C-alpha cells in the first residue's frame, strides 16, 4: 500500500500530464482545421491535372511510343516504395498504421523474389523501418524545417523519383500515406504512381474521345512534360492528406490520453481518500482501545 | 463581348476564378495566344510570361513561370505552381528571380530547352522592371 504522501505526489504528476495532453489536443485541433483547409484547397489542382492526363492518355494510340512514366518499363523487377510519415510522435496509431501497411507490402514483394527500394519521407517512418529494412532504404528525407507543407518540398521528392526512374533504378513506384477520412479515422493507402494507374481510364475513354483537343506542342511532348509534374502533384496531395491525418490522429490520441488521465486521477483520489480515512479510523481505534484498557 | 469562365489553380489553392472574362492572352510555349469564347478544346504549356486577363471593367496581369492550360466547354483552366500578380511584384522579388535564372544559365550541362525557358524568363522580367 503506497503511503499518503506517495499518492498525493502521483495525483499531482498525473494532473500535470493531463494538462500537457490537453494543451496538445487543442494545438492539434487548431492545426487540423488549417491542414484540412489546405487539403481541400489543394484538391482542384490534382483533380484537374488528373483529368488532363486522362484526356491525353486516351489520345495515345501506340503504347510503344508512349512515355515510360505512363506505361512502365515493361519489367517488374525493382519496386520503389515511398513511405510518407510524420516527423513527430505522440499521434496515436498514425505512423504505425502506415508502417504496418508497408511491411505487408514489402513481404509480398520479397516473397515474389523482386528487389525492394525504399525512400522514407519523415523521420518517424525511417526510425521504424531502419532495423528491418535498413539495407533497402536508399533515401531518407525530412522536412522538419519547413513549417507548412509546400509544393516545393513535394517537387523535390518528385524530382528525385523521376531522376531515379530515368537512371532505370526501378520499374514500379508506390507511395504510402494516410488518407484523411475524418478526425477519427485515417486510412493507410498505397497508391501506384509509376506506371500510372487509373481506375477510370477505361470507363472514361469512350466519352473523352469525342472532344477533339488541339494540342500545342504535340501530344507526346505534352505528356512527357506533364507526367513528371503529375508525380510531384500526387506526392503533394499525399503530403497534404498526411498532415491533416497526422493532426486528426494526434487530436484523438491526446483526447483519449486526457480522458484516461482524468480517470486515473479519479481512481487515485478515491484511493487516497480511503487510505486517509483508514488511517484516521486506525488512530481512533488506538485511542479508544487505549482509553478502555485504563 | 461574349464571356467565358476562367480558373487559375495553384497547388496550394484556387488562385482565381472569374466568370466574366472576355479575353485572355497566355504565354503558350510556342508563342502568345489569345483566347476568346468558343475557342476549340485546347491543351498547351506555358513559358515564363505575362497572363493578360481582360473583362468588361478590369484588366488583370499575372506573371507565371510555367503551367498547363486547358480550354474546354468555355472554361479556361490554368494550372501553375508559380504565379504573381504584377501589381504585387516589387523590384527585389524580380531581381531575385532574374538572378536565379542567370545562375541557371551559367551551368554547363544545360539543355537547349532549358536555356530557351531561362532566356525567356529573364527577358520578360526585365521588361517588367523597365515599366
If asked whether residues B43 and B78 sit together in one domain, one would say yes
- pLDDT score recorded for residue A249: 93
Beta strands, E only, chain A: 78-84, 115-121, 137-141, 172-180, 186-194, 214-216
What is the layout of strands, in order, in the sheet containing A137-141? A137-141, A115-121, A78-84, A172-180, A186-194
**CB contact B13 to A (< 8 Å):** yes
> Hey, are the CB atoms on B9 and A44 less than 8 Å from each other?
yes
Complete domains list, chain A, with CATH = 4-22+254-292 (1.10.287.80), 31-252 (3.40.1380.10)
Q: What is the pLDDT of residues A206-253, one digit of tens each?
A: 444 555 778 878 777 788 888 888 888 889 989 999 999 999 999 999
SS3 A182: coil
Which residue in chain A has the smallest CA separation from B8?
A45
Q: Which three cell numbers stand for residue B17?
A: 476564378
Interface test with B, best of A48, A155, A239 (most B CBs within 10 A): A48
Rounded Cα distance between B66 and B52, Å, is 15
If asked whether residues B52 and B110 sit together in one domain, one would say no
pLDDT for B45 beyond 70: yes
A-chain residues near B77 (CB < 8 A):
48
A-chain residues near B72 (CB < 8 A):
211, 213
Domain tally for chain B? 2
pLDDT for A43 beyond 60: yes
Identify which of A90-94, A107-111, A284-288, B20-24 has the greatest average pLDDT: A284-288
If asked whether residues B78 and B93 sit together in one domain, one would say no
Identify which of A2-16, A36-50, A202-216 has the greatest average pLDDT: A2-16
Which residue in chain A has the smallest CA separation from B9?
A45
pLDDT for A113 beyond 90: no
Rounded (10°) angle between helices A4-59 and A219-292: 170
> Hey, are the CB atoms on B42 and A214 less than 8 Å from each other?
yes
Calculate what percentage of chain A has a pLDDT beyond 90.
Answer: 44
Which residue in chain B has the smallest CA separation from A212?
B41
CB-nearest partner of B41 from A212, A233, A236: A212
pTM of this structure: 0.84
* Element of type H or E holding B69: strand B67-72
| CB neighbour class for B75 (10 Å; exposed up to 12, middle 13-18, buried from 19) | middle
Is this complex's ipTM strictly greater than 0.95?
Answer: no
If asked whether residues B80 and B106 sit together in one domain, one would say no
pLDDT for A63 beyond 70: no
If asked whether residues B122 and B68 sit together in one domain, one would say no
Distance from CA of B54 to the nearest CA of A (A): 23
If asked whether residues B75 and B109 sit together in one domain, one would say no
> Hey, are the CB atoms on B70 and A229 less than 8 Å from each other?
no
Which residue segment(s) compose the domain that B33 sits in? 4-85
Q: Answer positive or negative: Cα dihedral of A124, A125, A126, A131.
A: positive
CATH number at B64 reads 2.60.15.10
Q: How confident is the model at residue A56 (pLDDT cuts 50, 70, 90)?
A: confident
Distance from CA of B27 to the nearest CA of A (A): 12
Q: Contact A81/A119 with Cβ under 8 angstroms?
A: yes
Q: How confident is the model at residue A203 (pLDDT cuts 50, 70, 90)?
A: very low
If asked whether residues B55 and B78 sit together in one domain, one would say yes
Distance from CA of B45 to the nearest CA of A (A): 7
Q: Whose CA is closest to B52, among B77, B75, B86, B10?
A: B86
Amino acid at each position: 500500500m503506497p503511503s499518503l504522501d506517495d499518492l498525493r505526489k502521483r495525483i499531482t504528476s498525473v494532473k500535470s500530464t493531463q494538462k500537457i495532453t490537453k494543451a496538445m489536443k487543442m494545438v492539434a485541433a487548431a492545426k487540423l482545421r488549417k491542414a484540412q483547409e489546405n487539403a481541400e484547397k489543394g484538391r482542384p489542382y490534382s483533380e484537374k491535372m488528373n483529368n488532363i492526363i486522362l484526356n491525353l492518355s486516351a489520345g495515345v494510340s501506340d503504347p510503344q511510343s508512349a512515355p515510360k512514366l505512363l506505361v512502365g518499363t515493361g519489367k517488374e523487377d525493382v519496386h520503389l516504395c515511398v513511405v510518407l510519415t510524420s516527423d513527430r510522435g505522440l499521434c496515436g496509431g498514425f505512423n504505425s498504421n502506415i508502417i504496418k501497411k508497408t511491411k505487408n507490402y514489402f513481404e509480398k514483394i520479397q516473397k515474389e523474389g523482386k528487389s525492394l527500394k525504399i525512400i522514407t519521407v519523415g523521420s518517424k517512418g525511417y526510425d521504424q523501418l531502419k532495423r528491418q529494412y535498413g539495407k533497402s532504404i536508399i533515401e531518407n528525407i525530412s522536412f522538419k524545417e519547413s513549417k507548412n507543407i509546400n509544393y516545393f518540398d513535394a517537387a523535390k521528392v518528385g524530382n528525385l523519383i523521376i531522376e531515379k526512374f530515368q537512371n532505370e533504378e526501378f520499374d514500379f513506384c508506390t507511395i504510402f500515406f494516410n488518407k484523411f477520412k475524418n478526425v477519427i479515422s485515417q486510412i493507410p493507402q498505397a497508391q501506384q504512381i509509376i506506371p500510372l494507374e487509373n481506375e477510370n481510364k477505361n470507363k472514361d475513354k469512350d466519352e473523352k474521345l469525342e472532344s477533339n483537343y488541339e494540342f500545342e506542342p504535340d501530344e507526346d511532348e505534352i505528356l512527357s512534360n506533364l507526367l513528371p509534374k503529375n508525380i510531384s502533384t500526387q506526392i503533394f496531395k499525399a503530403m497534404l492528406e498526411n498532415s491533416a491525418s497526422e493532426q486528426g490522429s494526434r487530436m484523438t490520441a491526446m483526447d483519449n490520453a486526457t480522458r484516461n488521465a482524468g480517470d486515473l486521477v479519479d481512481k487515485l483520489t478515491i484511493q487516497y481518500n480511503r487510505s486517509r480515512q483508514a488511517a484516521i479510523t486506525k488512530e481512533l481505534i488506538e485511542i479508544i482501545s487505549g482509553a478502555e484498557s485504563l | 463581348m461574349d464571356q467565358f469562365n476562367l480558373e487559375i489553380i495553384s497547388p496550394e489553392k484556387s488562385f482565381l476564378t472569374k466568370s466574366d472574362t472576355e479575353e485572355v492572352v497566355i504565354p503558350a510555349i510556342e508563342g502568345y495566344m489569345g483566347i476568346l469564347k468558343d475557342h476549340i478544346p485546347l491543351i498547351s504549356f506555358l513559358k515564363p510570361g505575362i497572363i493578360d486577363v481582360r473583362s468588361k471593367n478590369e484588366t488583370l496581369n499575372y506573371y507565371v513561370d510555367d503551367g498547363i492550360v486547358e480550354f474546354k466547354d468555355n472554361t479556361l483552366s490554368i494550372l501553375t505552381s508559380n504565379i504573381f500578380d504584377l501589381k504585387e511584384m516589387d523590384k527585389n522579388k524580380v531581381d531575385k528571380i532574374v538572378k536565379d535564372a542567370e545562375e541557371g544559365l551559367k551551368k554547363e550541362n544545360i539543355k537547349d530547352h532549358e536555356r530557351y525557358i531561362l532566356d525567356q524568363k529573364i527577358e520578360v522580367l526585365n521588361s517588367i522592371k523597365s515599366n
